[in-house]
Amino acid sequence: MKFRELVIEKIGYKLAPCMYNRFHDPLFKFIESKTPKEFKNKAIYDLGCGDGENTYRLQMIFKPKEIFACDRSKPMLKRARMKGYKTKYLDFKKKLPKGEMAAYTYSLHHAYDKKKVLEKTVENFKYIFICEPYLKISHFYNWGHVPSRKEWAVLFDKVLNKYDLYEFKNNLVIFFKR
């Protein structure tokens, strides 16, 4: 584990877990308005679920048959489990499950090799939902590796090729179907 992740795991997630979630209601209202009907009622793997707050929001929008909250942080999984979610310890940078639909909500930017992770996600899932911030001056505090809007677009064009893209403030929202 790299130093930055060690600090996040041992200190950050225990003291101030997923603080950004508290401001996501307008973002998820926007996502709800753009969600294609065919993305609803799927079994979802919420990859990088954090404390489960956005897992709840995904559940409200996508009305999944089943949802699995997956993260590599045991403190975060404990919080998600306390909210009633089925949890799975999973580091998506190393291994990905196979399933119907994958969701990355503010988590893909933590991958060092985003291209490799996204390619494996395309292999393993028919539907992919992504909501990621793009780099702005306000992200100087971010512990992830937040790309610029242009860098995200290049990655999505290379790996996903054809997808639906929406933008809300400095967030990119992607719906992809293989």
Looking up residue 124, the CATH number of its domain turns out to be 3.40.50.150
Which of 98, 103, 169 has its CA nearest to residue 139? 169
Q: Is the pLDDT of residue 8 over 60?
A: no
Looking at residue 10, its pLDDT comes to: 54
Q: What domain range is 158 assigned to?
A: 3-177
- H or E segment and range at residue 61: helix 53-62
pLDDT in tens, 132-150: 999 866 555 555 578 989 9
Looking at residue 20, its pLDDT comes to: 53
Question: DSSP E strands: which ranges in the chain?
Answer: 43-47, 66-71, 86-89, 99-105, 125-133, 164-168, 171-177
Q: Does pTM surpass 0.85? A: yes
Answer whether 128's CB lies under 8 Å from 102's CB: yes
pLDDT in tens, 18-64: 545 556 789 999 999 999 999 999 999 999 998 999 999 999 999 99
Looking at residue 73, its pLDDT comes to: 87
Number of structural domains the chain divides into: 1
> In angstroms, what is the C-alpha Rg of the chain?
15
> Looking at residues 112-133, what average pLDDT do you find?
96
pLDDT in tens, 102-119: 999 999 988 889 999 999
In the structure, how many helices (H) and strands (E) does the chain have? 7, 7
